[in-house]
Amino acid sequence: MKNERLQRLEPYELKDSRTVLRREKMSNHLDLVVKNIFGSPNHPEILISFLNATLKAKKKIVNVDIKKTDIEKQYIEDKYSRLDVKATTSNDEIINIEIQLKNENNMVKRSLYYLSKMYEEQLNEKENYSKLVRTVCINILNFKYLKTDNFHTGYRFKEIESNEELTDIMEVHFIEIPKLQDSSDEKDMLVAWTEFLKDPESEKDFLDHSQGTGEKSKSVMYPDITPAMRRMRFVIKLTIFCSIVVEGVLILINYLTYSKVKWSALCGIGLAYACFSLIYSFRHNKSHRKKMLVQAIFIMPVLVLVDYILGYTGWSIDFAIPCVIAMLDIAILVLMIINTENWQSYILLQVYIIIICVILTILMLTGKFFKHDFFMIIADVMSALLLGGTLVFGDRPATTELKRRFHV
């Protein structure tokens, strides 16, 4: 049934003996699709198509205006919020599209919070309530969340007993992609969109169901992101292959011109770490903060290994690792200064650095690993001052962020 629906909606371009298209897990690319495609001002027709398929309003949306995604704070201590996609429509609506990859058990409250903030920020002081417009939040979930079996659900204000609708001024939608069934209506455009969200790299083409012609739409419903992703994967594979070839040549040269220093091993370590950084940075859907932390943690044993190959003098632990921590502290400080509206997001990273410093300081106090402790003390002081300064000058927003992160 599913194959029939896909063939009717989006005909496959069969290659040779009916090659099966490779499917990636949605969690790797869904953020890219929602934020960079639905939120692209260069392709408003994409968002229009998705909104018409989701809202199914009598009056079709014909135009959208992509807005900045920050929610304005009324007071400095208010929680900072950033939406994934925010837009206004030709039907005088404010739309927010949110993507959630993992279940944090807070989507209903989170949706209502965003919805109320968008509704509230429409009016300035002394403005009339008549200016308030319809506000809609659409949540795209990569997990099953609600009790219903339907993959798409919508909610409005209704009377408890009679079910009479009070107003449609505020509306919340949930699209739970894992709940999409093979038996879903193959003519429903939202079903087609959901199939696309499951597999953004598919080589299928949507049919124009809005006209019921069964022919391919002349307009592009969404941009083809397959070539860009394929190029990225090709570059990664090419880099890994070239690194292996280069390392093989270096080992051969090192063997033929043998010296006491196995410099080819050092080059191999450098190439391996470069490949790891490239793969982790481009193929993992993580924040830049987590990438900074992971790469800093991985570079530490690499430095120790290099020190060991060179005959181990202790420079990796005495100087190099403390310098890595110090540079990470400086990078965080610079990013906090640049990103003043979201500086709280770096607090957790600072806590992790403090934990690393505590572990290294304990090793230092044993007297077995560090020959010179000056640089480690400097790194400890810098990390402590950074976190302490953030908590002191950040005041309530900083402590609130810590409580939220550690669920206090």
pLDDT in tens, 94-124: 999 888 888 888 889 989 988 998 898 888 8
Q: CB-hemisphere CA count at 13 Å for 168?
A: 6
Give CA–CA dist 201/294, Å, rounded.
Answer: 28
* Cross-sheet strand order for the sheet of 64-66: 64-66, 85-89, 93-100, 134-141, 165-176, 152-158
pLDDT above 70: percentage of residues in the chain: 76
Residue owning tokens 């696309």: 196
> Residue 199: pLDDT above 70?
no
Q: Which range among 10-24, 30-44, 203-217 has the greatest average pLDDT?
A: 30-44
Q: Residue 179: is it exposed, middle or buried by C-beta count within 10 angstroms (0-12/13-18/19+)?
A: buried
| Token pair listed for 232 | 């990225």
CA dihedral 397, 403, 407, 408 (to 10 degrees): -140
Domain coordinates in residue numbering, the chain: 2-224, 226-285, 298-408
Contact 61, 90 (CB under 8 A): yes
Other Cβ atoms less than 10 A from the Cβ of 190: the count is: 19
Contact 368, 398 (CB under 8 A): no
Q: pLDDT digits over 264-322, tens only?
A: 888 888 888 888 888 877 765 566 788 888 888 889 999 999 888 888 888 999 999 99
Query: If you average pLDDT over residues 257-262, what whole number do you get?
Result: 71
The predicted pLDDT at position 82 comes to: 62
> Residue 213: pLDDT above 60?
no
Residue 404: closest CA among 11, 58, 106: 106
The predicted pLDDT at position 261 comes to: 67
The predicted pLDDT at position 190 comes to: 87
| Token pair listed for 388 | 């302490």
Residue 190: closest CA among 155, 159, 150: 150
The predicted pLDDT at position 228 comes to: 63
